[in-house]
């Protein structure tokens, strides 16, 4: 498939997905989400890559959606659009391979929500993060109100959501929204280096780590521990080339 709003490259089994609407700061639209869904589906089916890096073309990671446009939607249409966005970001979160966000500039609204759906976030020193929806009298619609407190804690999340304040990369690092801050020049090298380090490890173990860790957050500690034990046994069966019945 030819993509209009995304660019896709593969280097050494690492996929690079670039949001490609630099003239509008990589703002998102419904067609963008359709392309994202198709691309992620192809990644899962073809198993051509062992890690995915998501970044933005130009000066921004993504300025998100058009809030003013959303304000003009009927309530029913807004609910439907929200579910489309949520489903797309859920696919990013639930894809079996590790996903790294290389946040090169502004990550606002839906852009921030996309970054939060990734497993690891690396930011350039120029990056800014924010969820400004409350300024228009609405709330995030792409899962932001749910992922943010899970990543940075309730009070930090409410601070960002209620004030609509943009925070710097350094502040995002301090509150654990991002895992590393580097210069703009170093950003992609850092993201690709991290992805390369991960892909050199056992791919089955990497997939199991991601799945059981995220499942534990959804289903609770006890269920997570059960899944962890089952995954450990399955991996040892593969390594040892045996099948047990216990």
Sequence length of the chain is 246
Residue 96 a catalytic site member: no
The two three-digit tokens of residue 120, written as one number: 């690891």
Q: Which one from 93, 96, 126, 133 is the annotated catalytic residue?
A: 133
Q: Which one from 93, 113, 190, 228 is the annotated catalytic residue?
A: 113
Please list the residues that pair with 130 across neighbouring strands.
108
Query: Which helix (H) or strand (E) is 38 found in, with range?
Result: helix 30-46
Q: Compute, in degrees rounded to 10, the torsion defined by CA atoms 42, 40, 68, 107.
A: -140
- Does residue 39 contact residue 8 with C-beta atoms inside 8 Å? yes
Residue 237 a catalytic site member: no
CA count, 13 A, side-chain hemisphere, 92: 28
Closest CA to 127 of 177, 68, 195: 177
Residues recognised as catalytic:
113, 133
């Amino acid at each position: 498939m030819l993509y209009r709003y995304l660019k896709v490259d593969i280097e050494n089994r690492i996929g690079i997905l670039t949001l490609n609407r630099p003239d509008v700061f990589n703002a998102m639209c419904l067609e963008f989400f359709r392309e994202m869904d198709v691309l992620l589906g192809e990644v899962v089916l073809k198993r051509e890559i062992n890690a995915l890096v998501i970044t933005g073309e130009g000066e921004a990671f993504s300025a998100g959606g058009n809030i003013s446009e959303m304000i003009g939607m009927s309530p029913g249409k807004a609910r439907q659009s929200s579910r489309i966005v949520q489903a797309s970001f859920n696919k990013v979160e639930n894809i079996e391979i590790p996903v790294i966000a290389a946040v090169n500039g502004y990550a606002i609204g839906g852009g921030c929500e996309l970054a939060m759906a990734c497993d690891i976030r690396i930011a350039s020193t120029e990056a800014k993060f924010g969820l400004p929806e409350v300024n228009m009298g609405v709330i995030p619609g792409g899962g932001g109100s749910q992922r943010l407190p899970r990543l940075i804690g309730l009070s930090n999340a409410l601070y960002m959501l209620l004030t609509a304040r943009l925070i710097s990369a350094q502040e995002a690092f301090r509150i654990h929204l991002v895992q590393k801050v580097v210069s703009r020049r170093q950003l992609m090298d850092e993201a690709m280096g991290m992805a390369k380090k991960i892909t050199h490890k056992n791919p089955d173990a990497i997939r199991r780590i991601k799945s059981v860790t995220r499942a534990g957050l959804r289903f609770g500690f006890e269920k997570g521990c059960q899944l962890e034990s089952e995954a450990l046994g399955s991996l040892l069966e593969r390594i040892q080339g045996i099948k047990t019945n216990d």
